[in-house]
Amino acid sequence: MRKVAVGIAVACGVAAAAVVVLRRMKKAGKWVKAMEIVKDFEEKCATPLSRLRQVLDAMIVEMQAGLASEGGSKLNAHQLCGQFAYWFSLPTLGKRRDCFMHWTLVELISVCYDWYSEGRVVVSSINNLWSVDSDEFDDRVFIGSKLAKFVAQEGPDFKPTPGRQRELGFTFSFPVVQTSLASGTLLKWTKGFSINEAVGRDVVDELTKAMERHGLDMRVSAFVNDTIGTLASGRYADNDVVDAVILGTGSKAAYVERADAIPKGHGPLPRSGEMVINMEWGNFKLAHLLLSEYDLELDAESLNPGDQIFEKVMSGMYLGEIVRRVLNWMAKEAAFFGDTVPPKLKVLFILGTPAISAMHQDTSPDLKVVASHIKDIFEISNTSLKMRQVIVRICSIVAMRGARLSAAGILSILWNMGRDTITGGEKRRTAIAMDGGLYEHYTEYRKCLVNCLNELLGKEVFESVVLKLSKDGSGIGAAILAASHSKYLGWDD
Ligand code: BGC
């Protein structure tokens, strides 16, 4: 009897051990599967120098085509390098102090420009205009009422000179065809915006109507894309600034080109001999860029499928969403977070780029920043250290690809300006004004971009290139441009 009991006990023990082993094998199998997914993603996102050079060459071809003729670039209406902006003159020393406002869709800034001491600008601002319902946002009433409220609450320092109309620098961070200094037609929306009736309309007209409705005695005296604003404020602070890049929610670059180097021309040459090329590089797409299935799905499910492909792999709006998609797939295919897929993992755009930046830059030994973000955002509380390390790796893959592609984009501009080499032993300083939250706050992204530019240019040329953070440069630049094109210019002289 005892023998039978022992036999049964042994058999049960063996069975239990077998279950444990099987469970472990299953778990190990899932982990292997999860790691395969990460490895495959990493390979698809790889940007060795050889690949970056292909990207660069393709971008240069597009830029040249865009400059050569109207419609020359394959990118049709939103040519990569086809949009000209006027090379606005910038304010210099004068005799008075006056106020100019700058307004974007996300931020309202009032700038007091001190004409006596060049460079002194006093700024008061309100942010977070994003936090409105879309139907409210869609309405001109909203825009007008926000402006009216802002003006009403401003302190005495920001009031315009009595008897004068207030002037506004309007930064617009979407593709437009600029028709004059203070007018431009919206070509399309990007970055998840979609108000169809606005496409094809003059954006300044719309804003002017909104201001009139609210009885605001104001006029737009400069209407600029954010890159132009950044270029203007960058150049205002440093004469060697020839290029501006926005790396924020979206991305774009603008640079100064010799007007006679632009074959398709645009009427008489400007007196300065220079023109600004507004480069919608976000819309760049290329065969050599290996897009992963996550990128393709993101694009297909976006409001603008097939558009803004470059932007969708390197700008702030999308990096977090790509990471989310990879994690979601790992949860589904390899039970990375357990037997069921945590519901929050399926929510589009729930993971923002600030969160992946914080996780990527977590230096705590147990990666507690990662743990808390995963818990707060996805409601997943049981991550092991090993899992957190994998999450950091995915954030890094996505950010490094984006940063290296941005570096290739910047090099394409330097190439166009002939500043990618040292000619005749002469080292010319090239300054690039950088604006946007991605560049400003995501340190690892910024470091990777700078290192990659160094790799691409070589030490000697790289030493003559300076990337300068131009914080709020796009807005301040617009206000400075409004000041320099004020209708009251010269009144007090
Ligand atoms: C827009 C550009 C803008 C850039 C940066 C892109 O999505 O197309 O016009 O300059 O974002 O804000």
Q: Which residue has the tokens 């954010």?
A: 226
- The pLDDT of residue 374 is 98
State how far the Cα of 100 lies from the Cα of 168, in Å rounded to an integer: 6
Q: Which residues pair with 112 in a beta bridge?
A: 99, 122
Is the CB–ligand 1 distance for residue 250 below 6 Å? yes
Q: Which residue has the higher pLDDT, 101 or 427?
A: 427
Q: Which residue has the higher pLDDT, 338 or 144?
A: 338
- The pLDDT of residue 480 is 79
pLDDT of 121 over the 70 cut: no
Give the range among 181-190, 246-255, 376-385 with minimum mean pLDDT. Answer: 181-190
Q: Which residue has the higher pLDDT, 221 or 198?
A: 221
The helix/strand/coil state of 362 is coil
pTM for this one? 0.84
Is the CB–ligand 1 distance for residue 404 below 6 Å? no
How does residue 465 score in pLDDT terms, banded at 50, 70 and 90?
very high
Contact call for residues 225 and 171 (beta carbons, < 8 A): yes
Tokens of 309: 């492909």
User: Best mutation site among 105, 173, 279 for ligand 1, i.e. most ligand atoms within 8 A of its Cβ?
Assistant: 173
Across the range 273-278, mean pLDDT stands at 78
- Nearest residue (by CA) to ligand 1, atom 7, is 250
Give the range among 41-55, 126-140, 256-270, 333-347 with minimum mean pLDDT. Answer: 126-140
Give the range among 128-142, 220-234, 238-252, 293-307 with minimum mean pLDDT. Answer: 128-142
Is the CB–ligand 1 distance for residue 311 below 6 Å? yes
User: Best mutation site among 190, 230, 278, 304 for ligand 1, i.e. most ligand atoms within 8 A of its Cβ?
Assistant: 190
How does residue 160 score in pLDDT terms, banded at 50, 70 and 90?
confident
- 263 by Cβ neighbours in 10 Å (0-12 / 13-18 / 19+) ranks as exposed
- The share of the chain scoring above pLDDT 70, in percent, equals 74
Across the range 353-373, mean pLDDT stands at 98
- The pLDDT of residue 8 is 61
- The pLDDT of residue 186 is 85
Q: Which residue has the higher pLDDT, 8 or 43?
A: 43
pLDDT of 296 over the 90 cut: yes
Tokens of 456: 């691409």
DSSP string, 220-251: EEEEEEHHHHHHHHHHHH-TTEEEEEEESSSE
Q: How many helices and strands (H and E) does the chain possess?
A: 16, 13
Expressed in angstroms and rounded, the spacing between residue 415 Cα and the centre of ligand 1 is: 22
- The pLDDT of residue 407 is 98
User: Best mutation site among 280, 304, 317, 440 for ligand 1, i.e. most ligand atoms within 8 A of its Cβ?
Assistant: 280
Across the range 429-448, mean pLDDT stands at 96
State how far the Cα of 178 lies from the Cα of 17, in Å rounded to an integer: 73
Is the CB–ligand 1 distance for residue 226 below 6 Å? yes
pLDDT tens digit sequence for 381-415: 989 999 999 999 999 999 999 999 999 999 999 99
3-state helix, strand, coil in the chain (%, to 5): 50, 15, 35
pLDDT tens digit sequence for 2-35: 565 656 665 566 666 666 666 776 778 899 999 9
- The pLDDT of residue 128 is 37
DSSP string, 116-174: SSTT-EEEEEE--TT-S-HHHHTSHHHHHHHHHHHHHH--GGGPPPTTS-EEEEEEE-S
State how far the Cα of 99 lies from the Cα of 109, in Å rounded to an integer: 11
The helix/strand/coil state of 320 is helix
How does residue 106 score in pLDDT terms, banded at 50, 70 and 90?
very low
Tokens of 281: 């590089």
How does residue 236 score in pLDDT terms, banded at 50, 70 and 90?
confident
Cα angle: 442, vertex 448, 451; to 5 degrees: 140
- The share of the chain scoring above pLDDT 90, in percent, equals 43
Nearest to 37 by CA among 242, 362, 331, 416: 331
Is the CB–ligand 1 distance for residue 248 below 6 Å? yes
State how far the Cα of 289 lies from the Cα of 402, in Å rounded to an integer: 11
Write phi, then psi, for 422 (nearest 5 degrees). Answer: -105, 120
pLDDT of 82 over the 70 cut: no
State how far the Cα of 435 lies from the Cα of 453, in Å rounded to an integer: 17
Q: Which residue has the higher pLDDT, 357 or 289?
A: 357
Expressed in angstroms and rounded, the spacing between residue 94 Cα and the centre of ligand 1 is: 33
pLDDT of 244 over the 70 cut: yes
Q: How many CB atoms lie within 10 A of CB 255?
A: 25
CA distances from 254 to 10, 86, 240, 433 (A): 76, 12, 14, 10
State how far the Cα of 58 lies from the Cα of 147, in Å rounded to an integer: 43
Give the range among 271-285, 304-318, 330-344, 463-477 with minimum mean pLDDT. Answer: 271-285
Atom number of ligand 1 nearest to Cα 283? 8
Amino acid at 117: S
Amino acid at 334: A
Long-range (24+ apart) CB contacts under 8 A made by 294-299 are 294/41, 294/322, 294/325, 294/326, 294/329, 295/322, 297/325, 298/322, 298/325
3-state secondary structure string across 61-117: HHHHHHHHCCCCCCCHHHCCCCEEECCCCCCCCCCCEEEEEEECCCCEEEEEEECCC
User: Best mutation site among 226, 247, 278 for ligand 1, i.e. most ligand atoms within 8 A of its Cβ?
Assistant: 226
Q: Which residues pair with 98 in a beta bridge?
A: 113
- The pLDDT of residue 140 is 46
Backbone conformation region of residue 25, classed left if phi is above 0, alpha if psi is from -120 to 50, else beta = alpha
